[in-house]
Structure 1
Amino acid sequence: MKELILRPHQSHVEGQLREQLRAGVSRIVLVAPTAFGKTETAMFLIKLALQKGSRVWFLVDRVTLVKQTSDRFRAYGIPHGTIQGANATNDRYAPEQAVQIISIQTFERRDLGDPADLIFYDECHSQYAETLSRLEKYSKSKIIGMTATPFAPGMAQFWGGIVNGATVNRLLADHFLTPLKIKACVSPDMQGARRKPGGEYADEEAGQRGITIIGDVVQTWIQQTQKFFGGPAKTIVFSPSIKHGEELCRQFAEAGFNFQQISYLDRGDDVRDEKIDEFRKPDSAIHGLVSCAVLTKGFDVPDVMCGISCRPYRKSFSSHIQEMGRVMRTSPGKDFGLWLDHSGNCISFAQDTAWLFEYGVDSLSDAAKRDAEVREPTEKIKQTLFCADCGMQMEAASFVCRSCGWERPKRGEIQIVQGELIDFAHSIQETFQPRKGLRAECVNDPRAIWNAALSYTSSNSSKGPEFAKKWAMGVWFGIYEGARPPRGFFDGKADPSKVQTDQWSLIEREVQRFRKRSKHNQRRAA
């Protein structure tokens, strides 16, 4: 049996959760990235709850995750039962236990008797209406949601508190996550594609348009895995449709590689589980799994070395982050993961990704807006963050592409952080570059600059908060030309207590600069 010892960042979050619960907040979201150890943090709280004689439910949003979660509870010696589907065939059904792991599907349909004292809701960004409706009835229960991507609309209406765990940058620095080498490949032209009611591309449309680059997917994978790993490497492919996935598997087979598709159309859980169990083996006969909407959540195979994105998203930032997280888990001998982007998602979500991984999530209200906004790749981002010759993502401190030797044009205005890897898609310093001539050190923290700008305009305007925000946005654009902050920050409040002297002085100089330019332009016009 493993001993459950929390890491420092987990212990800090566990204390914050208990503090909010003691303060009377009954619905709290723990926001933390892949590999933070959200389940381990929950298990620590569950052990404390058991010591007090409390009953606990742990909800998972897919039947396939019940056994995976149960295995982790067993490893740490936490007695429990599982409730899912037909309990007659469930060898872990133990209703007498104080801790129950329950699938969301069963939770919504079955009478479970008296509510638990403490309820954990894993992947709570799923926001199933029936699940939330049932949870609302348990007014005396303490409910803790857990997610890496709290961007679903309406989360702020249900959840009353948020605890922000360690950021991806911190987990990378502490070696709890594996960095990615990202290669931006050919992306399908989605201009004019049909869309679902929520704004995403229809599966059939994305599949048909993506199918034109399938040959590139297979050949790029062969070339890049040979280059970085010396041959085939364990891979996950995220496909936009069943037909697209079938065609990918066929072409991989023609090239001599075993790729198996898993999807919501599988004949049963047993068939899917057999493929996944084989894929988990270190010497698996399966080179890769092709997933159509089934491996974005909770899937944990740490030795996956490569991920391939073939499903373009218009709005779903959360799906993009979830997919990349499948390749970022650490494993012995794994120095990095390889991400082959055939969808354009890395470029479309470049600014939001850099901001999220540097700063985390400030509030649910802000976060929900990131999945409500359409992103399209911009040429500026392509040029500044990827090699102009081979498309490989470049490190922040490098002027030479390690993949092909292309040299980035040297520009004095670029802010460099020596030795820092471009985490995930981009670093903050590369994504939010100040204009030429601005060398103040404080511009390396764009969130602090936004807070300083909003604090300044709020205290120097009598026209109301909306005018102050628009003014602050204008100041922001003057500093970081063309790179706006994530949309949610426009709706946030300023915190003047955090503004430093150099930040305030910068904002004052920017305002004076704008006024001088305006007067000069007026004189020229006259």
Structure 2
Amino acid sequence: MAGTIRGMTTPLLIKRIRSDMSIILRDYQVQFIEDLRAAIAQGHTRICAVLPTGGGKTVVMSALIDAILERGGTAMVVVHRDVLVSQTVDKIRAYGFPHDLGFIKGGREENRTAPIQIASVQTLPRRYWWQTVLAPRVILWDEAHITCWAKVSRRIIKTMWTATIHVGLTATPCRTSKRQGMKDVFTALVQGPLPRELQELGSLCKMRYFSPATLDVEGVKIVAGDYNDAELSRRTNTPEITTNALHWWEKLATGLRTLVFCVDCQHARDVCGAFVERGIAAVVVLGETPRPERDRIYADFEAGAITVIVSVEVLGIGFDCPAAVVGLSLRKTESLSMFLQQVGRLMRPHEDKPYGIWIDMVGNCQSKKLRLPEDLQPWDLDQGQPPGECPTKVCPSCQEVIRVFDNPCPCCGYKFPIKKKKAIAAVELKEINPALTEEQEERRDWFRQALQDCYKHGHSPGFATVRFKERYGSEAWPVLSWKRGAVFGDEPTDDQRAEYLDWLDHVATRTGKTPDWIAKQYRYEFGNKVPVPAIPKDRSPLAIPPDNWTRNQVPPSSFSVPFPPPPTEQPHD
């Protein structure tokens, strides 16, 4: 199925990439773009496109731009940080685009006629020319879970360029607000493979998670859905927590290239200093770090000259270094997006990395509000991730986060004790009847007295039901539970049971009832738990007892029901 971008006359054939381009699409990326085409063909102009971190969003973005430009269209790419402008440009040009690039970014030369415009969401409100000069066919919102919430972004999407195709690219379409999803911006969602599916394909690296400690955040204020940075830093930036973090890093990942995620700049500097004091090659990268210095640090890190990079948020988005093996988390968060973005930095495959390692020193892996990438379910525009907790536990021996059903621990072999089930004491179950109205109580008492009189006069128990319907109407029926203990009460003796069974046998012989009928009536009186004695099947017919035939075992009654003998005994139930 071929979709058509609004304003174009030729189909948007994404799969075919020009031979002079160095873009190579994987099968799942081809399918992902085909799903985008299908959403466009259905008339959607605001599409949220979800691929996991490391799934190739930049490759997909480049393929989309190439298809647009090949047909004479124009495109705009919006990023949320100034530093990401340079990264986006480098990646796009790496694929061999022959076109000029324009910029809506301070410090960059403008080219208002370029078919590709790279814009910073911070610069857009401070420039005005693009509002009248540009008319992009497609706008690609990088890290859409951030860029699309700026005021200028919402104005562009909902009022300025409503006919433009807006594609929001993100790995985490969720927020920390009460409305977790992105339904108020996008009308369709295109879901790529989940992280665990890409791990099975070998496109992402598998992970091991360790959670040796948690952080007490009781009393820390929540601001905009996450912990207040100042209060959280005071709670986290302590010598005890830093020393414990280095202890576990040396135990689990010493010498491996590591990314450390801190709360604020001072926290990052203090943690970096602790690494350096131990003779470990560690550096700090912050938002204020100049681009040339940052590029040099990243190159040295990839080459192995630097072992540890400590940062706050710079590494969380846009950092791409498959050589990173370990993530050390010192930043407690309630943001699922932040957590997944940070872990995603370790999931890019590398020839020297059999798996990534995540060392959680603040308890994020044990949070009920977060999920490991492997536990993600398909995303939803309305609520982000469906509610539910992940079935994990922490091994008390090696501190690895494992599945709740793992026993022994697959990492260290620790055997979890099996809790013995408590024996349930045997109790007698008693029927609990709902409260009856005064009218229902009167009917119940009348019917139970009628059953007693049937027993006195030798009539079938079913005759009590006939008289009940004559008294209260043809639509009225007595409740079966009213029969329980109607004749002998709640504690009958063995002799009374035998006498009642004998009486039922006489009635059944006279009216042609079966042994099953006898057993049913016996249980009505004495309950289902009382075994029914064996009933002989070769009974001989008995004579009808006289009208004045009575039973001495009938308990006294508060009132009597007139029961003249019926002229002809009827086979009532």
What is the CA deviation profile of residues 186-234 of structure 1, one whole-angstrom value per residue up to 9, with x for unaligned ones? 12211112332x13211122222212311011121122114xxxxx111
Over 3 Å counting, the alpha-carbon distance change for 1:316 and 1:268 in structure 2 is same
Shift, 1:148, TM fit: 0.8
Alignment of 1:203-218 (within 5 A): 203-212=229-238, 213-218=241-246
In structure 2, distance between residues paired with 1:5 and 1:22:
24
Query: What value does the CA root-mean-square deviation take over the aligned residues?
Result: 2.8
Structure 1 or 2, whichever has the larger Rg, is: 2
Is 1:311 matched up with 2:331?
A: yes
User: 1:341 corresponds to which residue?
Assistant: 360
In structure 1, distance between residues paired with 2:316 and 2:420:
40
One-letter identity of the residue aligned with 2:306: I
User: 2:381 corresponds to which residue?
Assistant: 364
Q: Using the TM superposition, name which of 298-307 and 385-394 deviates more.
A: 385-394
Aligned residues: 390
Shift, 1:368, TM fit: 7.5
Over 3 Å counting, the alpha-carbon distance change for 1:217 and 1:134 in structure 2 is same
Contact 1:249 1:258 (C-alpha < 8 Å) held by counterparts = no
Contact 1:125 1:147 (C-alpha < 8 Å) held by counterparts = yes
3-state DSSP class of the match of 1:253? helix
Shift, 1:151, TM fit: 0.7
In structure 1, distance between residues paired with 2:262 and 2:62:
34
Q: Work out which of the residue numbers 150, 155, 174 in structure 2 matches 1:128.
A: 150
Shift, 1:100, TM fit: 2.1
User: Which stretches in structure 1 are left out of the alignment for 5+ residues?
Assistant: 227-231, 414-526
User: 1:219 corresponds to which residue?
Assistant: 247
Q: Using the TM superposition, name which of 393-402 and 99-108 deviates more.
A: 393-402
Contact 2:336 2:370 (C-alpha < 8 Å) held by counterparts = no
Contact 1:2 1:76 (C-alpha < 8 Å) held by counterparts = yes
Shift, 1:247, TM fit: 1.2
User: 1:293 corresponds to which residue?
Assistant: 313
Is 1:33 matched up with 2:52?
A: yes
Shift, 1:263, TM fit: 2.5
What is the CA deviation profile of residues 77-99 of structure 1, one whole-angstrom value per residue up to 9, with x for unaligned ones? 123414153445x5xx6544312
Contact 1:56 1:118 (C-alpha < 8 Å) held by counterparts = yes
* TM-score between both structures, scaled by the size of structure 2: 0.63
User: 2:114 corresponds to which residue?
Assistant: 97
Is 1:71 matched up with 2:90?
A: yes
Over 3 Å counting, the alpha-carbon distance change for 1:135 and 1:80 in structure 2 is farther
Is 1:388 matched up with 2:396?
A: yes
Over 3 Å counting, the alpha-carbon distance change for 1:351 and 1:206 in structure 2 is closer
Contact 2:261 2:312 (C-alpha < 8 Å) held by counterparts = yes
Contact 2:182 2:384 (C-alpha < 8 Å) held by counterparts = no
Shift, 1:301, TM fit: 0.9
In structure 1, distance between residues paired with 2:386 and 2:409:
35
One-letter identity of the residue aligned with 1:63: D
Q: Using the TM superposition, name which of 289-298 and 22-31 deviates more.
A: 289-298
In structure 2, distance between residues paired with 1:333 and 1:397:
31
Over 3 Å counting, the alpha-carbon distance change for 1:253 and 1:351 in structure 2 is closer
In structure 1, distance between residues paired with 2:373 and 2:107:
45
Shift, 1:14, TM fit: 0.7
Over 3 Å counting, the alpha-carbon distance change for 1:335 and 1:254 in structure 2 is same
In structure 2, distance between residues paired with 1:35 and 1:354:
12
3-state DSSP class of the match of 2:190? strand
What is the CA deviation profile of residues 270-319 of structure 1, one whole-angstrom value per residue up to 9, with x for unaligned ones? 4444433443x323x32211111222112111110100111111x31111
What is the CA deviation profile of residues 256-276 of structure 1, one whole-angstrom value per residue up to 9, with x for unaligned ones? 112222223x26444444433
User: Which stretches in structure 2 are left out of the alignment for 5+ residues?
Assistant: 1-19, 422-573
Is 1:188 matched up with 2:215?
A: yes
Q: Work out which of the residue numbers 165, 186, 190 in structure 2 matches 1:159.
A: 186
User: 2:24 corresponds to which residue?
Assistant: 5
3-state DSSP class of the match of 1:158? coil
Shift, 1:356, TM fit: 5.2
Which one has the bigger helix percentage? 1
Contact 2:51 2:171 (C-alpha < 8 Å) held by counterparts = yes
In structure 2, distance between residues paired with 1:317 and 1:63:
24
In structure 2, distance between residues paired with 1:349 and 1:174:
28
Contact 2:196 2:374 (C-alpha < 8 Å) held by counterparts = no
Is 1:282 matched up with 2:290?
A: no
Contact 1:155 1:368 (C-alpha < 8 Å) held by counterparts = no
